Structure 1
Amino acid sequence: MSKMRAAVLTAPKRFELREVPVPIIGPEDVLVRVTRTGICGTDIHIFNGHYAADKLPLVPGHEFCGTIAERGENVRHLAVGARVVVDINIGCGNCFWCRHNEVLNCAEVTQIGIGRDGAFAEFVAIPARLAIPVGASISDEILALTEPVACVVRAARKARISFGQSVVIFGAGPIGNLHVQMMRLVGAAPIIIADLSADRCRMALEAGADSAISDPAELKATVLRMTGGLGADIVIESVGNRKLYEQAFDLTRRGGHVAFFGITPPGETVPIDILRTVLEEGSLKGSVAGMGQDMYDALTLLSHNRFRTDDFTKASYPLDAIQEAFESLGDRPQDLKTQIAIAA
Structure 2
Amino acid sequence: MKALVYTEPGKVEVRDVPVADGKPGAVKIRMHYCGICGTDIGIVGGKHPRAKAPLVLGHEFVGTIEEVREGSGRFKPGDRVVAYPLISCGHCLPCRTGNPHVCDTLKLIGIDQDGCIAEYAWIDEDVLFKLPETMSNTTAALVEPLAVVVRSMHQAHFELLDSAVVTGAGPIGILTAIVLKHSGASRIIISDVDEARLSLCKQFGFETVNAREASIVDYVRQSTNGEGVDIVFECSGVESAAAEMTKLARIGGMICMTGIHKAPRPVDLRDMNFKEQILIGSRVYTKREFEMSVAYAASIAADLEKVITQTVPLTKAEGVFDMIADPTVNTVKVLVDCQA
- Give the TM-score, by structure 2 length: 0.91
CA offset at residue 132 of structure 1?
A: 0.2
Aligned length: 339
Q: Equivalent residue for 2:4?
A: 7
Could you say what secondary structure the match of 2:292 adopts? helix
Question: In the alignment, is the contact (CA less than 8 A) between 2:59 and 2:85 conserved in 1?
Answer: yes
- Aligned CA-pair RMSD: 2.2
Q: Equivalent residue for 1:295?
A: 290
Which residue identity is paired with 1:250? K
Q: Structure 2 matches for 1:85-100, cutoff 5 A?
A: 85-93=82-90, 97-98=94-95
Could you say what secondary structure the match of 1:309 adopts? helix
Q: Equivalent residue for 2:277?
A: 282
Of 156, 160, 177 in structure 1, the residue corresponding to residue 157 of structure 2 is 160
CA offset at residue 99 of structure 1?
A: 6.7
Of 201, 204, 209 in structure 2, the residue corresponding to residue 204 of structure 1 is 201
CA distance in 1, matches of 2:107, 2:219: 41
Question: In the alignment, is the contact (CA less than 8 A) between 1:237 and 1:262 conserved in 2?
Answer: yes
CA distance in 1, matches of 2:69, 2:93: 27
Of 10, 21, 26 in structure 2, the residue corresponding to residue 24 of structure 1 is 21
Q: Equivalent residue for 2:107?
A: 110
Q: Equivalent residue for 1:270?
A: 265
Could you say what secondary structure the match of 1:328 adopts? helix
Could you say what secondary structure the match of 1:258 adopts? strand
Could you say what secondary structure the match of 2:335 adopts? strand
CA distance in 2, matches of 1:276, 1:305: 36
Q: Equivalent residue for 1:127?
A: 124
Q: Equivalent residue for 1:73?
A: 70
- Larger deviation: 56-65 or 270-279? 270-279
Could you say what secondary structure the match of 2:55 adopts? coil
Q: Equivalent residue for 2:35?
A: 38
CA distance in 1, matches of 2:300, 2:231: 26
CA offset at residue 67 of structure 1?
A: 1.2
CA offset at residue 272 of structure 1?
A: 4.0
Q: 1:313 to 1:252 in 2, by over 3 A?
A: closer
CA distance in 1, matches of 2:28, 2:49: 24
Question: In the alignment, is the contact (CA less than 8 A) between 2:139 and 2:305 conserved in 1?
Answer: no
CA distance in 2, matches of 1:318, 1:120: 10
CA offset at residue 282 of structure 1?
A: 1.6
CA offset at residue 200 of structure 1?
A: 1.2
CA offset at residue 94 of structure 1?
A: 6.7
Q: Equivalent residue for 1:256?
A: 253
CA offset at residue 312 of structure 1?
A: 2.9
Q: Equivalent residue for 1:147?
A: 144
Of 202, 216, 220 in structure 2, the residue corresponding to residue 219 of structure 1 is 216
CA offset at residue 164 of structure 1?
A: 2.1
Which residue identity is paired with 1:294? E
Query: Which 5+ residue runs of structure 1 have no aligned equivalent?
Result: none
Of 336, 340, 343 in structure 1, the residue corresponding to residue 339 of structure 2 is 343
Q: 1:288 to 1:115 in 2, by over 3 A?
A: same
Q: Equivalent residue for 1:182?
A: 179
CA offset at residue 49 of structure 1?
A: 1.8
Question: In the alignment, is the contact (CA less than 8 A) between 2:168 and 2:234 conserved in 1?
Answer: yes
Question: In the alignment, is the contact (CA less than 8 A) between 1:190 and 1:226 conserved in 2?
Answer: no
Q: 1:276 to 1:302 in 2, by over 3 A?
A: closer
Q: Equivalent residue for 2:240?
A: 243
Which residue identity is paired with 1:161? F
CA offset at residue 180 of structure 1?
A: 0.7
CA offset at residue 203 of structure 1?
A: 0.9
The C-alpha deviation readout for 1:217-238, integer Å capped at 9, x for no partner, is 3311210122231122221121
CA offset at residue 149 of structure 1?
A: 1.0
- Larger deviation: 17-26 or 48-57? 48-57
CA distance in 2, matches of 1:70, 1:52: 34
Query: Which 5+ residue runs of structure 2 have no aligned equivalent?
Result: none
Q: Equivalent residue for 2:321?
A: 326
Which residue identity is paired with 2:237? G
Question: In the alignment, is the contact (CA less than 8 A) between 1:52 and 1:114 conserved in 2?
Answer: no
Task: Report the identity percentage.
Answer: 32
The C-alpha deviation readout for 1:281-320, integer Å capped at 9, x for no partner, is 2221111323312222222122123551343334111112
CA offset at residue 156 of structure 1?
A: 0.7
User: Does the alignment pair 1:138 with 2:117?
Assistant: no
Of 298, 309, 313 in structure 1, the residue corresponding to residue 304 of structure 2 is 309
Question: In the alignment, is the contact (CA less than 8 A) between 2:139 and 2:301 conserved in 1?
Answer: no
- Larger deviation: 285-294 or 126-135? 285-294
CA offset at residue 326 of structure 1?
A: 1.6
